[in-house]
Amino acid sequence: MYRPNTLKTRLLKGEKAIASWLLLNSPDIAEVLAHAGFDALVMDHEHSTQTYDSAVAAMRAAAASSVTMLLRVPDNDHIYLKRALDAGAEGIMVPMVDSAEEAEAFVAACHYPPDGFRGVSFPTIRASGYGYQAGEYLKSYKDNLLLIAQVETAEAINNISKIAAVDGLDMVFIGIGDLSASIGKLGQFEDKKLLSMMQKAERAILKKKKLLGGIAFHEEMASAMFKRGYHFVVVTSDLSLLRDNAQRMAGALRKKI
């Protein structure tokens, strides 16, 4: 059902926020994490087996909490974007945005005419409360949506100032994994060239007054990112929380039996 986007409101006030990826097809896990203290959960349709049905189930499971439900689509595909928005995602992340033109296409796909070209069905979609909140939705959906472009290639970093200048884009999110791969340094996250490119991107994004987002692999990394000006950091995933804690407990107990 339609509700205010508390994450976007807080970010625009200058507050910092943390999030977890949702990779597993479990509304129960989504519900647990929604009450764990995260500001947002990011349903990942790029690198998981999640579907529209599982996304809706996760959003319903989290509805009793104040957590904002974001969805990373697999590609900058206007049809997928339309369905994700109609399903009720409160924010959208598009991966592999390499140019201002691609960012502009993303923004346009999320807005109804005359501001964009999103297909119209607001009287019936879940995002408008199946029409019960259609008037409120149509009036405020643009301001309520959080639109995030993920930059994660050398080409994107070369175009970062133009991407960050795109009107209607709220956040630019730096994807360190694919960025490292794009310069032949896959997984080498302390590489000097990679760090230099990230710093260039960070400065450009902040200069254009866009929200700055990224991924942290541990708490110390997240803390350092916030000190550099990041507004939004994804710090873990449901999968890694389950895997790492299960492995830690099993390993510790194995040593005692």
Q: Which active-site residues does the annotation give?
A: 47
Neighbours of 184 (CB within 10 A): 10
What's at 67, amino acid-wise?
A: V
20 DSSP β-pair partners: 41, 236
Peptide bond preceding 95: is omega within 30 degrees of 0, i.e. cis?
Answer: no
CB count within 10 Å of CB 15 equals 12
CA angle 109, 114, 120 (to 5 degrees): 60
Q: Provide the residue type at 242 as one letter.
A: L
Token pair of 3, please?
A: 């509700």
Secondary structure of residue 230 in the 3-state scheme: coil
C-alpha 131: how far from its chain's center? 26
